[in-house]
Every structure is written in structure tokens, then in C-alpha cells.
Chains A and B, each alone.
Chain A
């Protein structure tokens, strides 16, 4: 069983090689299971499958991180790199848009603010 922390230190090429190795391993195990000529540890199948999944996870997250760096300053980001939130939130106004006021409003607010008066006893 490989550890993900070990895998993350490798580069893409090495990870692809590992992936190839694991897949070959898995294929052999499947053949052995089917031919049932020898007693085999069926639990091995599961560990190899999960190893493959681990390598793929590390590979894909690496690629995604690279993409994020690449498009960080782009005007339009790829859709899967944008904030997910919810569909509604994505379509609603931004904070800036909500707070926006016309020049006229601002001037009026500045020159004629809401006054509060108190009755002196």
C-alpha cells in the first residue's frame, strides 16, 4: 500500500509510471482470480484498486493546482476554477453592485443627511 504523502513528492512522469505498474498488477490479479489455479489473497485486489485511486487523485489534484496557478491572473477563468457556491449566488449581484449609488444620491446623502431631533425637557 502506498501513502499519498509519498506520492505527492513525485512528479507527473513518475506517477504515470506507478499508475502503469499498479494497473498491470491489477490485471494479473484479476487473471489469477478467474483461473483459480492457485489460492490467492483476494484482499490484494482491493488494496491495488485503492492504490490506483490514490495515484489518480494525486495526479489530478496536481494538474488542477497547476491550472489554478496558470489562470490566476486571467480575465476569464475556466468554469471549474471559479467559485462554486450555489447557482443562485453566482447569478446574484456582487457586494459592490448592491452598494452602488448614483452621484446624485451620494450628493444628496452628503448634503441632506437624515437629521435626528430631540425634545429638550
Chain B
């Protein structure tokens, strides 16, 4: 473009060699080795990025000499603990008839897929969807919509919700 053309690399290297004068370099090197020892020139690692990241070192897994807890206690979470009891009332019965939905109070820690699974296991019905909310009194309410016409009313009368 606007720059003058550069000389090829060969020329530059030759120039450098001439300037450094091989003889002097060797003497200097020998002197350095004698005064400071053999392992002068460390392998210089090439940094390709601007940031320094902690290098990955050996990570060993634990091999404890003793257990901290000798036994696993029989847990309180079981297939009957997710769904606690059904809600009965005007709004609940309305949902049952119109939306094919049943309303339950559910364990606070239960998730929608959990609820779906336990419900299916317990009552053998197909579920379309589960909606949840947490009431102001701290309990979780689940709206379980069933598949199939009138399935909610059937199941409701079987459970005893009417």
C-alpha cells in the first residue's frame, strides 16, 4: 500500500547474525554457565491469552477412614407423603365438574412431576396437567387436570369428595 516493500526474511537473519558476532556470544554463554550453573535457560511457556487461569491440578476423590454417619435413617419422604388431602368446597367442586380438575393440598417440597407420578401410582388415572400454587398459609395447592371426560367426578366420588 503506502509502505516501502520489506526485504525478505533471509536478509534480516543474516544481518542479525552479523551483528551478534557468534564468537562473542559463545564466550558470554560459557561465562554465564560457569558463574550461575547449568540450568539457566528455563523453558519459557508461551501465553496465548491475556488472562491467567488457574492450572488444573490433581484432584483426588475422598477415601475416608471412617464414616461420619454409620446408618442411613429410614426417611420420611415416601409415596404417601407428597399428596396430603383433597380440598372440598364450592370452588373445588366447580372445578371438578367444569374443568375436570381435582384440587389437593400437597407437600410443600413436592414438584409437579412428583405430584403427577404419585397421583398416577395411587389412583391409576391419566393426567393432563398439574398446576400448583402456594397458599398464604404456607401450604401448597395442586390443581390436577385429568384426561378423559368426567374422570374427575368419577375419581372424586370414589375418594369421597363429592
A and B from one complex: yes
Report which A residues bind B (CB closer than 8 A).
Answer: 19-20, 23-24, 26-27, 30-38, 56, 59-60, 63-64, 66-68, 71, 74-81
Contact A76 B70 (CB under 8 A): no
Q: A27-B80, A31-B159 are in contact. Are A71 and B70 (CB under 8 A)?
A: yes
Question: Which B residues touch A80, using CB under 8 A?
Answer: 68-70
Q: Which of A26, A32, A77 meets B66, CB within 8 Å?
A: A77
Question: Which A residues touch B135, using CB under 8 A?
Answer: none
Within B32-90, the residues touching A (CB, 8 Å) are: 65-74, 78, 80-81, 83-88
Question: Which B residues touch A56, using CB under 8 A?
Answer: 74
10 closest residue pairs by CB, A with B: A34-B85, A76-B66, A78-B70, A78-B67, A67-B70, A35-B160, A27-B80, A63-B71, A37-B160, A23-B80
Main SS at interface, chain A: helix
Contact B80 A31 (CB under 8 A): no
Residue of chain A at shortest CB distance from B69 = A80
Question: Which A residues touch B70, using CB under 8 A?
Answer: 64, 67-68, 71, 78-81
B151 within 8 A of A: no
Contact A30 B85 (CB under 8 A): yes
CA distance in complex: A30, B80 (Å): 11
Contact A64 B74 (CB under 8 A): no
Question: Which A residues touch B130, using CB under 8 A?
Answer: none
Residue of chain A at shortest CB distance from B162 = A37
Contact A35 B80 (CB under 8 A): no
Residue of chain B at shortest CB distance from A30 = B85
Contact B159 A78 (CB under 8 A): no
Q: A23-B78, A27-B80, A30-B85 are in contact. Are A60 and B71 (CB under 8 A)?
A: yes
Question: Which A residues touch B81, using CB under 8 A?
Answer: 23
Contact A31 B85 (CB under 8 A): yes
Question: Which A residues touch B67, using CB under 8 A?
Answer: 78-79
CA distance in complex: A77, B84 (Å): 40
